[in-house]
Amino acid sequence: MRTPLIAGNWKMNGSRALLEAFAETFTAEALPEGVKAALIVPFPYLDAAQRTLETTPLALGAQTLNVEVSGAHTGEVSAPMLNEFGVRYVLVGHSERRALYGDSDEMILGRVNTALGHDLTPILCVGETLEEREADRTMTVVLAQVDAVFDALDAAARERVVIAYEPVWAIGTGRTASPEQAQEVMAGIRAHLSRHGARLGESLVLLYGGSMNAANAAELLAKPDIDGGLVGGASLKTDDFLTICQSAG
Catalogue the active-site residues.
94, 166
Our CA dihedral for 181, 187, 193, 197, rounded to 10 degrees, sits at 180
Under the criterion CB under 6 A, does residue 172 sit at the interface with ligand PEP? yes
Smallest separation (angstroms) from ligand PEP to the CB of 198: 29
23 in Cβ contact with 56 (< 8 Å): yes
Smallest separation (angstroms) from ligand PEP to the CB of 139: 20
182 in Cβ contact with 165 (< 8 Å): yes
Site for ligand PEP in 36-75 (CB under 6 A): none
124 in Cβ contact with 163 (< 8 Å): yes
158 in Cβ contact with 196 (< 8 Å): yes
Among residues 217, 236, 100, 109, which one has the least CA distance to residue 161?
A: 109
Smallest separation (angstroms) from ligand PEP to the CB of 82: 19
Cα dist from 101 to 10, 43, 75, 104, whole Å: 17, 17, 13, 9
User: Which one, 101 or 197, has the nearer CB to ligand PEP?
Assistant: 101
Binding string to ligand PEP for residues 211 to 240, with x set by CB under 6 A, is what? xx-----------------xxxx-------
User: Which one, 55 or 173, has the nearer CB to ligand PEP?
Assistant: 173
Question: Distance (Å, rounded) from C-alpha 6 to C-alpha 249?
Answer: 11
Per CB under 6 A, which region of 54-62, 103-111, 185-193, 207-215 contacts ligand PEP? 207-215
Smallest separation (angstroms) from ligand PEP to the CB of 9: 4
Binding-site size for ligand PEP (CB under 6 A) equals 13
User: Which one, 14 or 233, has the nearer CB to ligand PEP?
Assistant: 233
Cα dist from 197 to 165, 192, 193, whole Å: 21, 10, 7
Smallest separation (angstroms) from ligand PEP to the CB of 195: 27
Under the criterion CB under 6 A, does residue 158 sit at the interface with ligand PEP? no
Question: Distance (Å, rounded) from C-alpha 248 to C-alpha 7?
Answer: 11
Phi and psi angles of residue 19, each rounded to the nearest 5 degrees, phi first = -60, -45
User: Which one, 36 or 200, has the nearer CB to ligand PEP?
Assistant: 36
User: Which one, 4 or 209, has the nearer CB to ligand PEP?
Assistant: 209
Residues forming the site for ligand PEP (CB under 6 A): 9, 11, 166, 171-172, 209-212, 230-233
